[in-house]
Structure 1
């Protein structure tokens, strides 16, 4: 997995991702606490968390189109600089009647992130190719995500308690500036990916045409509808379980916020372990096999975990959630990239993100309502069943066709040239 770091341009992108993601997680913890201290309102605190989820639903299609039209490196650079400026707005908040600035900053940061994500995911195959190194690159991104998940939340809470809100905001803004600086040193300059349009067409029609091209690819490319269906059902069940975490900790485990932090740490440790495992499974198993087995294993772990009332066993099971979860998510990312032409990657990545956001929102609402009416254990069992259904949906992914049993994606997509000069 670490061999992919020999590709200089990818190494810069991965480091930029680490820095900006760490800053995000620091603020993810500090901002709600700061709002709660200023206002004393749980509703205001909840709004600060919800502010970062709405842009994915509203801007997903728009962001994907422009990620394919614009130079992806330049898009990432512009977004990072803009996010640093938007986050800095929170430094102006000192009184309860200024809390609206925090909402504006959080929504602005999340909205800009909708352009950064598809551009980054579309750029990576151009840097490392669509062969084995693509799976390695996605596995390393999972390692980065697991590391940030493990240390970002606790570190943000500790820094907020020690030095206050303003230094945490400054650190987040600085992380974006550092990420932008790294992106400026990337040597790769991708060609504009969007196809030419007739000059007599309007901007709206060109946009609609681009959006239609991406949608048709998602609906017709072999395997993609099945993969997206399986992923959507998985996110639905996973989000329902996420909504149960607090009542599960307080009711079944009879513990408090400190225990919830331990469970998140255990989950982060599982994510770290899952990153190299995802690389190993990609090297020996087909994408279809990894997706089916990961989802089936997750459904079992979920069903057992949320019926356990012993903290020690719960910690072990939360660690076990990470590896199959990472294997599934990394495999989906790799499959989407291999089955999508470069000119459509931004739109496909953005659509995938929008589906994830919609399924997550629906799952959290369903989990909260059912947990209240049917109980935690029954709701958790239904969510685990949902993940098992996702495994069944993955059975519709086409079988590998190569002699060695490996998935190759869309054979019409040419492999990019060797970029040994960047190594």
Structure 2
């Protein structure tokens, strides 16, 4: 898995991802606490969390089109600088009447991230190829995500308590600037994308490019089913996530610190899942990995939320990470291997939008049903939804004509 780090340009991108993601997690924890301290309002605190989710739904299709139009490296550099400037706005907030600036900053940061993410995903295959190193890169990204989640959440809370909100904002701002500097150092200049059609008005051209991306998702063998599988999974997972706090408080009768330990256990599982996903991707088909990982995940979910014992839940939370990472890495790799370079931005954004929509609906459904029919019953239904995603994955074609071509494609040389 770490062999991909021998590719210098990918190493720069991965380091930038680590730094900026860590800064994000620090702020993700500190910002709601800061809003709560200033306003004393749980509604205002909730809005600070919701502000991060709206841009994914509104800007996903737009961001995908432009990620395919623009130079990906320059897009990443520009959005990193814009995110740094936007986050720095929070340094101006000193009392409750200025909290609206935090909302503006969070929405702006998330909006620019909608352009950064598809550009980064589309750039990776250019740097490492679509062969074995692509799976290595996606597995390593999962390892980075797990590490950041394991370290960032408690560190963000600790820094907020020890040094206050402003230094946390400064660290996040600096992480974006550091990421931008690393992107500048990328030596590889990908070939220019095919020019877009100049026929019609700007709106007509945009709509045409959007339709081309949607057509690719619909017509590529296995991709529509995989999107459906992912949507069902994210729905069930979000319903469980929405009930975690009530579960810890009312079912486990534990304090808020227990939730932090459970998230730490989840991070440990993500760390273990990264090398496992790399090994499985090299040996099994995407269909087999998808079915197996989601089936195991649904069983772990069912066991976790029916045990009602803190110690056992800690152990079981570590078991959530490996199958979850295997599924997520498989989806990312499948999309990259079955999408032409000039459509990667739109396809990645479509996947991100499906994820955001399913997550939002799942959270709302979990919250409502948890109130109406009970936490335990709703969590069991959510685990069944994840099992349903595994059943849906049975519809993925057993043999995909494009699999052999992409899997055998050599990756680029380490000196690129």
Deviations 1:40-63 (A, max 9, x none): 000000000000000000000000
Q: Does 1:392 align with 2:391?
A: yes
Aligned twin of 2:231? 232
| Aligned counterparts of 1:412 and 1:245: Cα–Cα separation in 2 | 40
Aligned twin of 1:63? 63
Q: Does 1:350 align with 2:344?
A: no
Deviations 1:343-362 (A, max 9, x none): 10000000100000000000
- 1:192, CA displacement in angstroms? 3.1
Aligned twin of 2:81? 81
Deviations 1:250-269 (A, max 9, x none): 11111011101100000011
Contact 2:337–2:406 (Cα < 8 Å) also in 1:
no
| Aligned counterparts of 2:27 and 2:400: Cα–Cα separation in 1 | 46
Deviations 1:139-172 (A, max 9, x none): 0000000000001010000000000000000000
- 1:400, CA displacement in angstroms? 3.4
| Aligned counterparts of 1:143 and 1:417: Cα–Cα separation in 2 | 21
Structure 2: runs of 5+ lacking an equivalent: none
Deviations 1:353-377 (A, max 9, x none): 0000000000000000111111111
| Aligned counterparts of 1:412 and 1:274: Cα–Cα separation in 2 | 24
* TM-score, normalised with respect to structure 2: 0.98
The 4+ residue runs of structure 1 with deviation greater than 3 A are 411-420
Contact 2:128–2:411 (Cα < 8 Å) also in 1:
no
| Aligned counterparts of 2:412 and 2:134: Cα–Cα separation in 1 | 13
The CA RMSD over aligned residues, in Å, is: 1.5
Cα distance change, pair 314–49 in 1 and its aligned pair in 2 (3 A): same
Aligned twin of 1:365? 364
2:403 to 394, 400, 408: 408
Structure 1: runs of 5+ lacking an equivalent: none
| Aligned counterparts of 2:174 and 2:25: Cα–Cα separation in 1 | 14
- 1:308, CA displacement in angstroms? 1.4
| Aligned counterparts of 1:131 and 1:241: Cα–Cα separation in 2 | 35
SS of 1:306 mapped into structure 2: helix
| Aligned counterparts of 2:400 and 2:339: Cα–Cα separation in 1 | 18
| Aligned counterparts of 1:252 and 1:181: Cα–Cα separation in 2 | 47
Aligned twin of 2:304? 305
The 5 A counterparts of 1:266-305 are 266-305=265-304
Cα distance change, pair 319–308 in 1 and its aligned pair in 2 (3 A): same
Cα distance change, pair 417–320 in 1 and its aligned pair in 2 (3 A): closer
The 5 A counterparts of 1:82-161 are 82-161=82-161
How many pairs are equivalent?
Answer: 416
| Aligned counterparts of 2:256 and 2:382: Cα–Cα separation in 1 | 23
| Aligned counterparts of 2:44 and 2:364: Cα–Cα separation in 1 | 18
